[in-house]
Amino acid sequence: MPKVKGVRGPKAFSIGQVNAITGIPKPTLRYWEKEFGDYLDPGRTTGNQRRYDENSIAKIEKINYLVKVQGYTIDGAKRQLDKLEQVGTTDPASQDPIAELARAMSDYLLKKSS
């Protein structure tokens, strides 16, 4: 995302505002920015402060869903995001719930047996 000069155009949110919107701690957001650099790239002001647009917040929520709800590791979440982008599905929660349950059970059994 390019440098953000002001609030003209799309709404830009500070890291504190994103924390308030998503409930994800600021240090976690900073860490995810480093880990998911190819996927998550917030803009910066001329003072080098992070600014997130609505698309970035949606990406953060996807990462949160994969890591916190689905239980993926950081590397697993990266692989899952790559798969979702290849397939063209942008929302991991929008998949068929029965298929998602079957995958989750399969993953659990595979993890338990290894």
Domain with 52, as residue range(s), is 15-113
Q: Is residue 49 situated within a structural domain?
A: yes
Q: Is 65 helix (H, G, I), strand (E, B) or coil?
A: helix
| pLDDT at residue number 90 | 53
The answer to whether residues 41 and 1 touch, using CB atoms and an 8 Å cutoff, is: yes
Q: Is residue 4 situated within a structural domain?
A: no
Number of domains forming the structure of the chain: 1
Q: Is residue 9 situated within a structural domain?
A: no
Distance CA 43, CA 55 (A): 11
Q: Each residue's pLDDT tens digit in the chain (114 positions)? A: 444 444 455 689 999 999 999 999 999 999 999 999 889 989 999 999 999 999 899 999 999 999 998 899 999 999 998 888 887 655 555 555 666 666 777 777 776 655
Q: CATH no. for residue 61?
A: 1.10.1660.10
Q: Is residue 86 situated within a structural domain?
A: yes
| pLDDT at residue number 110 | 72
What's the DSSP call for residue 13?
Answer: B
| pLDDT at residue number 24 | 94
| pLDDT at residue number 95 | 56
Place of tokens 């338990």: 112
Distance CA 85, CA 74 (A): 17
